[in-house]
Chains A and B, each alone.
With several copies, the nearest count.
Chain A
Amino acid sequence: MTSASSLGGVAQAGAGPDNGPAHEFFVPAPHEPAGSAPAPAFGPVILEAEGLVRRFFGVTVLDGVSLSLAAGEVRALLGENGAGKSTMINLLSGVHQPDGGQLRLDGSPVRFARPLDADHAGISVIRQELSLFPDLSVAEAIFAGHLPLNRFGLVDWPRMRRAASAALSQLAPDIDINAPVASLSIARQQMVEIARALTRKARVVIMDEPTASLSPNEVAHLGRIIADLSREGVAVLYVSHRLDEIRAFCQTYTVLRDGKAVAGGRVADTDIPALIRAMAGREIAAAQKAPPAPVADQGTGEPLLQIRHLASPQGLRGGQRVKDVSFALRQGEILGLAGIVGAGRTETARMIFGLDPVGQGEIRLFGQPVRFASPAAAIAAGIGYVPEDRKGLSLLPGRSVHENFALTGAVPARFGRNDRRAEARLLAGFWQKLGIRAASPGAAITTLSGGNQQKVILARWIALKPKLLIIDEPTRGIDVGAKEDVHALIREIAASGVAVLLISSDLPEVMSLSHRIITLREGVTSSDQPAAGITAEALMTHMTRHA
């Protein structure tokens, strides 16, 4: 089945119950924009950008971009990594000010000097980089800056809690609104972020890659929410690298390339290959078709990694997240690890890598039982781990791309001194292979676009030449073109004998990359089978359906 239909149907799922029977997720997509029952006769234009220009270090990042958002319109903003999408959003929401062009609100020119101004204008944003309050409770984080007051002018806690649960009820009813945000997974934080934007009763909702780490049924919920917004006459600007979502959720689109708007129109009048061509300005091998390379020693000999009945310790918050996980991973094999948010994938990876304590169960590496006390030990044993939380666990803010790349010490020091030249050479290789877009290896990592940061982090770990590489959400926030580069790279290292444990919420990715796929459901391995001939429906059943 094609990835298009697999997610195109997602919008439909909106109609069905939260975790209804699996087949509901996979009704092929109707080819008109989803969610808008009556054909899109948009209301008046609310927000309008005309010829916006933005420069950094005098480099033009946005070059005269115009777009408009009408009531009830759901517009996709597309483009490769570094095309300027987030920057555009920063201009629309007062984070940065344009160096040229102008914004119009309800037809009259406006200037957003601070995010507060945009907020007052009824524009609310879901940021690409999570911007929540780790120490605050989920409920307060949702209302931060707009806490409800009681008649004494004091904070109305009960009302706030009620509203918070209501806001999360659709998306993630299981989140404890009193838990500190820091205790939530990236995916859950993303849902809180979404809930926060929705409680603002905004007229314009901007979403910058809201689904980057969501799995299909959360995406489905989001699809329904967007449909409701549009029906209520809210204008939505939607950024995503998952083109099937675009087709499912959006009615109109604008494509950015190198800071210029190069294409736009009605989603219904175009198709995915056309969109890809517009973004890349060149032909891209159609997504996710290449078959996985054969595994070196399929089935024979001792597996490189063997997990038996792995369980995390009983925690206080959120209880025990991993209950019984078993699987084997061979040299040169790519093992897909699928599951819905909260299934226990990240925690499994963290335990293997020595980041979290192991409860019960055993981990065998090359047949030897191991339990790593620290990541250092795991790395020494030849394991690498690309975490899903890029900002929190990967980036060194304020340091250069080069130093971020060299962090793991892939290149040994010579006479105690860092061998910068060799490091640079190595980096240059990845730079070219992954098509990293940045000023120079000396540029601060934080000035790179989200996707390009992800590429640098991947390079950091691959350069280390691990025997086992765990990758959590490898293409989070990476554009279609680059996604192909990354996939090719993953296949390549697997072919070179590296065992890859691939955690991804992007089912087509899992299916096209993996040799074997296991699914987790609430911390338990619910299936383990070869990828060949497996269907997304089957996977979804194992991920969700209660046995």
Chain B
Amino acid sequence: MSATTPPDRARLFALLGRLAPLIFLLALVIIFASLQPRFLMPLNLFNILRQVSIYGIIAVGMTFVILIRGIDLSVGALVAMSGLCAAVIARGGIEGRLVLSADGSGFSWQLAALAAILAGSAAGLLQGMAVAWLSVPAFVVTLGGMTVFRGLALSIGNGGPISGFDEAFGWWGRGMIGPVPVPVLIFAAVAAIAWVVLTQTRFGRAVYAVGSNPEAARLSGINVSGVTIAVYGLIGFCSGLGGFVLASRLNSAEAVAGTGYELTAIAAVVIGGTSLQGGTGGVGGTVIGALLTGVLLNGLVILNVSPYTQQVLVGLIIVAAVAFDHFIKRQSR
């Protein structure tokens, strides 16, 4: 009957809608490349990739959170806290305040990484429970979490940095496999796994269902609280991993690390076309979004744009990117 959809055509437009962020990214790359050819040097491209990889990992976790209509402002603080946890383990204690290993030497990177990831995940799960069970809005819970975990990070390192780790530890942030920096590979792996989970598993689809209509999700027998807690645990995990990689990259962990990562990560997710209303979007877009922010920051520096002007441009371009995305999507209705 007439009132049915010509699927192919509809799908074409839907596709275009999904591609909007990519188009914008390419445009940006072309502009920078034409203004400064050195921008395209492999070295620079890998720099960009390495630079985005850490908050990229977090942005992947943030995608889940935003898909269920949540938000997490605590990730930056979590990066700092978990990074310090890893550092304490790797150093075998805190100078003059805490000795963990008998001979005062540090522990292996495995234990350090584990510490970071456990710390992050635990913190995330706790926040998830507050959101799910106390029904406190995620914005508030994680705003609180942000200051709480900063506070904890400060008390762990007593305000100062903890630095100097062994080679094995450092490899995860500074190592290379062929021409590719390790953090980039970690980011890629995390993104790939997240993609499979979101598109191919019941949990992933439950995430979309909860984001699209929590009440209906509950009525159709989905364990909404469970999904919520899991999702916040998941971004906690990503933050912990990010914290470990960052500490390894900087060969040092400090309480002020990761400041502002929350906003960068959220920006990446939204630029990638995931809606803050939840229910629509995905990891693919987030990767594009992360790259876009990375390209932006790198390109403006490469072009010697003055710092003040840079801030203005970054703000404008981010808004433009999202506006473009929404414009395309509207056209395809």
Residues in A lying within 8 Å of B, measured CB to CB: 56-61, 63, 82-84, 95, 114-116, 119-120, 125, 127, 131-136, 140, 144-147, 149, 153-155, 173-176, 178-179, 196, 258-259, 315-321, 342, 353, 355, 374-376, 378-380, 385, 387, 392-399, 403, 406-409, 413, 416-418, 437-440, 442-443, 447, 460, 522-523
Contact = CB atoms under 8 A, between A and B. Distances in A.
Interface stretch (B38-46, B123-131, B204-212, B312-320): B204-212
Given A119-B220, A144-B216, A145-B222, 6 more contacts: A58-B5, A59-B2, A132-B216, A134-B213, A196-B220, A437-B3
Given A155-B205, A418-B205, A57 B215 contact: no
A372 to B, nearest CB: 11
A399 B2 contact: no
B208 A135 contact: yes
Contact of B3 (A120, A174, A374, A396): A174
Nearest to A120: B221
Contacts of B218: 114-115, 374-375
Contacts of B332: 316
B216 A395 contact: yes
A457 B202 CA distance: 19
B213 A133 contact: yes
A392 B222 CA distance: 16
10 contacts: A131-B215, A131-B219, A135-B280, A145-B209, A176-B5, A374-B218, A409-B221, A417-B200, A418-B205, A437-B4
Contacts of B275: 398
Contact of A127 (B6, B10, B219): B219
B134 interface: no
B208 A399 contact: yes
Contacts of B215: 131, 392-393
A147 B275 CA distance: 24
A140 B1 contact: no
B216 A131 contact: yes
A60 B2 contact: yes
Contacts of B195: none
Contact of B212 (A319, A375, A396, A439): A396
B2 A259 contact: yes
Given A176-B4, A321-B3, A155 B213 contact: no
Nearest to B14: A442
Interface centre among A259, A321, A394 (most CB of B within 10 A): A394
B201 A155 contact: yes
For chain B, give the interface size range: 35 or more
A144 B205 contact: yes
Contact of A59 (B5, B11, B217, B333): B5
B179 interface: no
A175 to B, nearest CB: 8
Interface of B: 1-7, 9-11, 13, 196, 200-202, 205-206, 208-209, 211-213, 215-223, 275, 279-280, 332-333
Given A396-B213, A417-B201, A440 B220 contact: no
A57 B220 contact: no
A355 B3 contact: no
A171 to B, nearest CB: 14
A443 B219 contact: no
Contact of B221 (A84, A145, A175, A523): A145
Nearest to B1: A174
Contact of B216 (A147, A317, A374, A393): A393
Contacts of B196: 154
B222 A144 contact: yes
Contacts of B11: 178, 442
B2 A523 contact: yes
B2 A385 contact: no
A177 to B, nearest CB: 10
A10 B9 CA distance: 38
A543 B320 CA distance: 48
B57 to A, nearest CB: 23
B4 A439 contact: yes
Given A119-B221, A407-B217, A409-B202, A63 B279 contact: no
A381 to B, nearest CB: 11
A61 B4 CA distance: 8
A176 B219 contact: no
A409 B208 CA distance: 14
Contact of B202 (A133, A155, A355): A155
B3 A155 contact: no
Contacts of A136: 208-209, 212, 279
Given A398-B280, A409-B221, A522 B2 contact: yes
A50 B9 CA distance: 29
Contacts of B200: 154-155, 417-418
A413 B205 CA distance: 11
Contacts of A115: 218-221
B317 to A, nearest CB: 27
A159 to B, nearest CB: 13
A59 B6 CA distance: 8
A258 B3 contact: yes
Given A176-B5, A395-B213, A385 B219 contact: yes
Contact of B7 (A95, A178, A315, A385): A178
Contacts of B5: 56-59, 176, 178-179, 316-319, 439-440, 443, 447
Contacts of A175: 4
A58 B5 CA distance: 8
A102 to B, nearest CB: 21
A418 B217 CA distance: 17
B78 to A, nearest CB: 28
Contacts of A147: 202, 205
Nearest to B199: A155
A204 B6 CA distance: 36
A396 to B, nearest CB: 4
A176 to B, nearest CB: 4
Contacts of A120: 221
Given A115-B219, A136-B212, A144-B220, A443 B10 contact: yes
A408 B3 contact: no
Contacts of A393: 215-216, 219
B225 to A, nearest CB: 9
A399 B279 contact: yes
Contacts of A140: 205
B2 A176 contact: no
A261 to B, nearest CB: 14
Contacts of A173: 1
B303 to A, nearest CB: 39
Contacts of B222: 116, 144-145, 376, 407
Contacts of B9: 57-58, 316
A387 B7 contact: no
A149 B206 CA distance: 14
A133 B221 contact: no
Contacts of B333: 315-317
Nearest to A399: B212
Contact of A258 (B1, B217, B220, B221): B1
Contact of B1 (A380, A417, A522): A522
A319 B216 contact: no
A393 B217 CA distance: 8
Nearest to B277: A398
B7 A398 contact: no
A10 to B, nearest CB: 21
Contact of A408 (B6, B10, B221): B221
Contacts of A317: 5, 10, 333
Nearest to A407: B220
Contacts of B280: 135, 398-399
A276 to B, nearest CB: 18
The 3 lowest CB-CB distance pairs between A and B, nearest first, are: A439-B5, A145-B220, A135-B279
Contacts of B279: 133-136, 396-399
Contact of A416 (B201, B217, B223): B201
